[in-house]
Structure 1
Amino acid sequence: MGNSLLKFLCAKLSYLAAAAAAAGHTHHSAAPQAATDAVSVLSHDLSQFGVTGQVPDRLSQYVVSSKKAQANWYRKLLDAWNEAKPPPNTPEAASRLVIQSLKRHRKADVEGILVCYGLPLPHTDAPVGPSSGPEGVVKYELQTLPVDAKAVADGDTITVYVDAAADPRESANVPRGVHEAALERAQARVAKDSDKEGALHKIITDAGYRVIAGSDNEQILARKYRIRLRGIDAPESSMPFGKEAKEELAKLVQGKRLKVYVYGDDRYGRCVGDVYFNSVYIQEQMLKKGLAWHYVAYDQRPELEKWEKEARARRVGLWASSHPEKPWEWRKERRNGT
């Protein structure tokens, strides 16, 4: 517990300093660029593997193969890194080394490693994501912590959390009162003062944050976001296939670190965004499985229409019914009391 608390306090002090620097427009102490961090973090992890033979625990959240396979990858990467003259010093060079060294391995695993470190995916200068166009402009990205299945409200809405210390955008915007409450809560937790811990927990959650236990029980201050999947509308829970849609979305996102491209907010205060796990586009999967409609009133992207038509043609999911009810019409009828 003491070691976890020390990590927690160090992390909080780090992003508190980053927030103060941002507020004072002090550029000398600003957080380093994520691209530079990606190379240094990979280099550090490979060095640690050379000493301990252990791969980072977080990698399992991005890849599909076993720990034994992961150790095999890191041996290859460590050898390639040591043989490179000079070693990679840019994200593009590091990405090329990973792809070349693991070219005979599963594509999903190689892409998972790249996403884990924030390195460019093959044949692109940035991780997979939608391009801005006539259907909207991406306002910002979210890199989430692993998603809990209970965070799936229905087939088109999920709640996610973002590490407020690790994300530069978040760390500069955490309210000072939340920082202080998180630090005091950690101290109350050690002192086993449950009343004080509960009061501080309420301050944190009321502000839209939460303290989450990480993989090695360290305490992570995280920002809460409710996400409405852009461009689709799934059956409501009490509609036919509503339960199946919720279960499928939970299966797609449970335990995974997601990338969310946010385009704006809806009238309920949810972020409207495209959701990805590595190169898997979650909305595409929901449409192809016949567990969501293309929400054409708000999104006219032709690929969404195409995926819905494919599911209709195969009569999968809700399309097994000859006349499935549209969820927006179902909601309208209930608002009107009919």
Structure 2
Amino acid sequence: MKLSIKRTIGGALAASLAVAALAGCAPSSDGGGDGGDGGSSDVTLTLVTWGGTTEEGFKKVYADPFTAETGIKTKMVNPVDYGKYTAQLETGNITWDWVDIEGWFAYQRQADWATIDRDVVQYDDADVINPPGKDYSTIDWGIPSPSYSFVISYRTEEAQHPTTWEEFFDTDAIPGKRAIYNWPYGMLEVALLGDGVPMDELYPLDVDRALAKLDSVRDDLVFWNSGAELQQILSTGGAPFAFAWNNRVAALMKEDQPVAIEWGENLQDGSVNTIAAASPRLDETMQFFNFMMDADRQRDVALSTGYSPVLKSSFEKIDTDLQPLYNAYPANLEQAVGTIDHDWWAENYDAVSAKWTEWAAG
């Protein structure tokens, strides 16, 4: 299957991004378009991502073609900096128009977001892929953004691999190093699942119990701090098993690396695209959001980043050989243990992050 995946992703991604490239204009040195054939505008939208391939995909599929079609310039900036963005929100001096924020931040600052004008941002709520326990149609201050899962990953030469989070933390039954994310978001959930806490009793998270579970296997832990570091550990065999973002593992699988994803008990996560209510470019950003919700563009970004698209109609446009690599694949959704509770994290993120930093340094 790996060989067919590799060939398919190359052809599908090249074809889909070629369409975007033809529609767009040549990028300028600052990452913005020059207006193309879509007219001209004095407005420039600043779009903030985490950088890397995600930014490249957004620029090719969204930013440049949007400028070409509307004449509204775009400028890509990285990385996301919550401190800087919070300062903008609190002063009302908004210079960042769209920011690739995580779900906890979107929910933490709900009062700062503009109500989405659904006459401008048009899509069918019935077409949205809702993860377990989530219904984005109840949110009027944001629109769903691409999603992913926390999964167990493993090197395929291993005789056996963990299929549940309890097995992931049972290093006696399945020996071997475990690579884990050096951050509490998602890690605390799986540690508690590994300690026998059922998903429906997970929140509020028992942070001390989760850290104690991690301590019980601390000698077998390898910490990763970025997606690139995770991929390096898996590629080199620094750890045979890992708590991972599914799209990062999928990227290695497309390169025929000897790694795979265990979808059992995957923990789903996504976010919400928001617009600051105080933005002086509210109308233009609404136009950009509508542009982003196009089914073909959603598919193209999914092919570029490995995140699942927002719309079912977009997912159906992904080659069937590739669909199993995405968290929104129906069989993977069925195996999900649940979805991150953004409301809990919105209330507790800062305090829990500080506690994790102290624990990790110990």
Scaled to the shorter chain, the TM-score interval is under 0.3
The two structures have a TM-score, normalised by structure 2, of 0.24
Larger radius of gyration: 1
> Bigger relative contact order, structure 1 or 2, given CA contacts below 8 A and separation 6+?
2
